[in-house]
């Protein structure tokens, strides 16, 4: 751990592993990758199952917001998928329930970032990332990927 490291030991900057190792050298929570199929299993259909949704490729456990996201609740349609566009536009239209941000206005993008930070990151533990967020289109690791900070939340280390 960091505490047990020798004084004066300087960890390399995250960038230095680009093109070398497939994982960053720094310790941190393991990163779970969700395919669309996996994420779709957590849409709140079953009682007692966790409810997940992704915003900007970050998968949040929104189970504690069951009154919003559970079966029959007003925002259930956002769950089990990446609903970035819907969150940006405050829309539940099925065509907006996608990761795709193409053509969003500056105002919608600002709103997206506000809700991402002030609602999702502030309230709900991160449980992983969508494949789209972690990998390049050819399936190779995206070396610019950086996990989100969420130090105020005590996320379960279950992976």
Site residues (CB under 6 A) for ligand HEM? 65, 68, 75, 86-87, 90-92, 119, 123
**Closer residue to ligand HEM in complex, CB, 53/129:** 53
Q: Give the helix ranges, DSSP H, for 20-148.
A: 36-39, 66-69, 84-89, 106-115, 122-123, 131-134
With beta carbons less than 8 A apart as the criterion, state whether 66 and 108 touch.
Answer: no
CB of 83 to ligand HEM, least distance (A): 7
DSSP codes joined into one string, 58-91 = EEEE-GGGHHHHSTTSTTGGGTTSB-HHHHHHT-
CB of 30 to ligand HEM, least distance (A): 25
**Closer residue to ligand HEM in complex, CB, 68/145:** 68
Residue whose beta carbon is closest to ligand HEM:
65
- Distance, CA of 61 to CA of 124 (rounded, Å): 6
**Closer residue to ligand HEM in complex, CB, 11/90:** 90
CB of 69 to ligand HEM, least distance (A): 7
């Amino acid at each position: 751990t960091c505490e047990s490291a020798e004084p004066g030991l300087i960890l390399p900057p995250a960038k230095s592993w680009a093109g070398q190792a497939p994982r960053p050298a720094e310790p941190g929570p393991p990163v779970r990758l969700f395919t669309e199929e996996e994420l779709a299993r957590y849409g709140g259909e079953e009682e007692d199952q966790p409810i997940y949704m992704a915003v900007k490729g970050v998968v949040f456990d929104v189970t504690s917001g069951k009154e919003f996201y559970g079966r029959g609740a007003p925002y259930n349609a956002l769950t089990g998928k990446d609903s970035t566009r819907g969150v940006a536009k405050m829309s539940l239209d099925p065509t907006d329930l996608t990761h795709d941000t193409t053509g969003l206005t500056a105002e919608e993008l600002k709103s997206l970032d506000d809700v991402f930070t002030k609602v999702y990151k502030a309230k709900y533990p991160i449980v992983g990332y969508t494949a789209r967020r972690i990998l390049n289109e050819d399936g190779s690791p995206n070396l610019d990927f950086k996990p989100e900070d969420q130090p105020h939340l005590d996320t379960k280390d279950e992976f």
